[in-house]
Chain A
Amino acid sequence: MTTPLLEIRNLHACADNQEILRGVNLTINTGEVHSIMGPNGSGKSTLAQVLAGKADYEVTQGEVRFKGNDVLDMDPDERAREGVFLAFQYPVEIPGVSNMQFLKTALNAVRKHRGESALDAFEVLQTLKDKLELLQVDQKLLERSVNQDFSGGEKKRYEILQMALLEPALAILDETDSGLDIDALKIVSTGVNAMRSADRAFLVITHYQRLLNYIVPDFVHVLVDGVIVKSGGKDLALELETNGYAAFLPTGASV
């Protein structure tokens, strides 16, 4: 029996002394596409950030294993080099650091960890060419500063471009569809689907079911109040679209 790619057991996490994750359990095997849906405030983004290693959150209980290793012990950059990729919900702007410089630095950090040789700017550009086309990102964007003056759609496409370049083992998409129109959604989905393989797993975090028409999941989980209350196949997403989250909330509560 192969080791699961990601194993989350009884994960409790809090921020500002408030508990947000209250015992999350989740197993993801490589090659699978999982989706987590849930109402606002359920802890979806918190889960993504805790997995990526954001220091604002304190893990109070539980464990997370990635490729069998304890990941909570690792710095965010170690996790990224090991193959965890987080596509941010709100990618930050970094004036003064060009997109090209950023991509080259990130790629070479991951390559070095894998024992591969570093690429120069020209080689990085060659590697990027078909990905730029797939995600409809203008090459001229590479000269600009990271995410600076990018529209919402451009930022999200750029996140997926980075994912395509870094080839992670686990890609976590944190509400990648938020703020996207249908065209941008299709482009982003094409990019993600092109990356689906037996060597890769996805954790797609979303509030709306619509994205899952394009990125069809193998498993869907419902996160409410920091716990996964139900898991199922892709039909569970359609069920949620029809009935909403009401069935999973405590009596009297609203979304």
Chain B
Amino acid sequence: MPIAMTYSPIDQFGPHSCEPSEPAWLTSLRSVSADAFNAIGVPSAKHEEWRYTNLAPIREHSFQPGSSEIAPAALQETLARTLNVRTATRLIFINGRFAPDASTMAQETGVEISTLTRMLRSDPGALESELGAIRDVDNDAFAALNTALFINGPVIRIRQGAQTTTPIHIVHITANSSIDNPVASHPRALIVVEPDASATIIEESLSNGAAAVFTNAMTEIHVGARARCILVSVSRDNDASWRVSNLRVQQDDDSDFAAHSLLLGCALTRNNVSPVLAGERCHSVLNGVYLPRNTQHMDNHMRVVHAAPSCQSRQFYTGVMQDQSRGVFTGRIIVEQGAQKTDAIQSNRNLLLSPDARANTKPQLEIYADDVRCTHGATIGQLDEDAVFYLQARGVAEPQAKALLLHAFVQESLNRIEDDNLRDLLTPLIAQRLPGASEPGPAS
């Protein structure tokens, strides 16, 4: 009797090579994850969590892992476009595979930088307790898919009391895709900031070539007691690509975490940010800017879990929608029983620059403790015409007046990045994206 060939949703993403040298615990984890993904498949609009974001483009394609070879000249050109971070550590990944020749790694006491592949080979048991350990709040299909299919990614460990003196710059380049045979990449990152340590990390994604790539990224960060971690994420993939990213964070007592996100690229982006405040008196700031244009769709999905008392969380997300683009924000706050004295604030501001631009905003509070402070606010509006006229009445031409107001709107988010150098990296990217010249005065 012929054996029926059953198609599993995961098969859509190409052959997944299990490294023969992978430890048993990882093989098992991948198997469980593959099953979890297959049980859900690529979510449809019937899933409440995906109500505003249509994943048809991803569902409709078959993907392949893609080669990580890029001709030297093309690679140089792509690297020249990356953020000019003053650092001695820059890790380059191409389609989720490490490019050691293009990367640089500084030696710093207490700052251990490696890759998943290297770690698993040299010390197979080392990551077992940490990889995939952070709570999965939503049974997320794409997180499961990443665990099943990831090839490689950075492993960064900041030892107790140590700190990064310059930011660690992680660059993800996608390449070698085509319309008929698009690439899917599942980069993974594991960052452990031990107690009393501090780290600043910059994650950047961009494309080599104009063809669409599906990136399904996952970053897990453990922030130890009294530790500090700042993550700046910039998405600059080409306008055809699709991107789902999962940022999972677990924070211990008195820790401080800030995630600054800037979304510029991709036809479709889903930015999931899920910190779990597991220790007491943690601070967590989720600060995001999304600037879609043309028909870009950017969906930001926060899931903040207050699992311990006296923690403070802040969600500040700002969107400027141009043309026929769409911005989505869901701000979920879960305050567990026992998370007394929770202080949570959520704010989403949206500016629509054209009649066809759209914004959706949805706060979602699930509160199971009784001594908490949770506030949420959202605005969707247009530029204040009176403010534009006031500037014009003082000699500023209309395009420059609007640009000034737009920059002011976004500047508030930028100002939450305390480090001037980090902020200065993002300012020109934002200026290029927003309409209007940066130089005031009449054009002559």
Contacts and interface: CB of A to CB of B under 8 A. Distances in A.
Interface stretch (A65-73, A84-92, A237-245): A84-92
Interface stretch (B104-112, B319-327, B398-406): B398-406
A88 B394 contact: no
Contacts of B398: 75, 77
Contact of B404 (A80, A91, A97, A112): A97
Given A77-B395, A77-B398, A110-B395, A105 B390 contact: no
Contacts of B442: 77-78, 81, 109, 112-113
A94 interface: yes
A97 B440 contact: no
A109 B408 contact: no
Contact of B441 (A91, A102, A108): A108
Interface in B409-444: 409, 411-412, 440-442, 444
B393 A80 contact: yes
A54 B389 contact: yes
A146 to B, nearest CB: 8
6 contacts: A78-B442, A80-B392, A92-B384, A97-B405, A105-B441, A110-B395
Q: Which of A53, A85, A106 has the most CB of B within 10 A?
A: A106
A80 B389 CA distance: 11
Contacts of B444: 112
B440 to A, nearest CB: 4
A34 to B, nearest CB: 20
Nearest to B440: A105
Contact of B394 (A55, A93, A109, A113): A109
A76 B440 contact: no
A75 B387 contact: no
A64 interface: no
Given A77-B442, A80-B395, A102-B391, 17 more contacts: A53-B392, A75-B392, A75-B397, A77-B393, A77-B394, A77-B401, A80-B394, A81-B395, A88-B393, A91-B390, A94-B384, A94-B408, A105-B396, A105-B400, A109-B395, A109-B441, A162-B394
B441 A96 contact: no
A221 B408 CA distance: 41
B386 interface: yes
Nearest to A112: B441
B441 A76 contact: no
Contacts of A101: 404
Contact of A95 (B386, B404, B408, B441): B408
A88 B390 contact: yes
Contacts of A227: none
Nearest to A165: B394
A166 interface: yes
Q: Which of A80, A96, A166 has the most CB of B within 10 A?
A: A96
A98 B391 CA distance: 13
A224 interface: no
A108 B411 CA distance: 22
Interface in B349-401: 384, 386-387, 389-398, 400-401
A93 B386 CA distance: 9
A96 B387 CA distance: 12
Interface residues of B, number: 26
Interface of A: 52-55, 75-78, 80-81, 85-86, 88, 91-97, 101-102, 105-106, 108-110, 112-113, 146, 162, 166
Contact of B387 (A80, A94, A105): A94
A37 to B, nearest CB: 23
Given A77-B401, A94-B408, A97-B408, A166 B390 contact: no
Contact of B390 (A81, A92, A95, A113): A92
Contacts of A91: 390
A94 B393 contact: no
A109 B440 CA distance: 7
A96 B389 contact: no
A166 B404 CA distance: 19
Contacts of A94: 384, 387, 390-391, 405, 408
A53 B397 CA distance: 13
A77 B408 contact: no
A52 B389 CA distance: 9
A94 B394 CA distance: 14
A47 to B, nearest CB: 15
Nearest to B441: A109
A105 B391 CA distance: 9
Nearest to A113: B442
B325 to A, nearest CB: 22
Q: Which of A91, A105, A162, A166 has the most CB of B within 10 A?
A: A105
Given A77-B401, A109-B442, A92 B392 contact: no
Contact of B396 (A54, A55, A106): A106
Contacts of A146: 390
Nearest to B397: A77
A66 to B, nearest CB: 14
Q: Which of A77, A78, A86 has the most CB of B within 10 A?
A: A77
A77 B391 CA distance: 8
B139 to A, nearest CB: 40
A78 B422 CA distance: 38
Contacts of A109: 394-397, 400, 440-442
B393 A76 contact: yes
Contacts of A105: 391, 394, 396, 400, 404, 440-441
Contacts of A85: 393
A113 B396 CA distance: 11
Contacts of B391: 77, 94, 102, 105-106
Contacts of B386: 92
Given A76-B389, A81-B395, A106-B394, A96 B440 contact: no
Nearest to A52: B393
A90 to B, nearest CB: 9
A148 B212 CA distance: 46
Nearest to B406: A96
B411 A77 contact: no
A95 B386 CA distance: 13
Q: Which of B393, B400, B440 has the most CB of A within 10 A?
A: B393
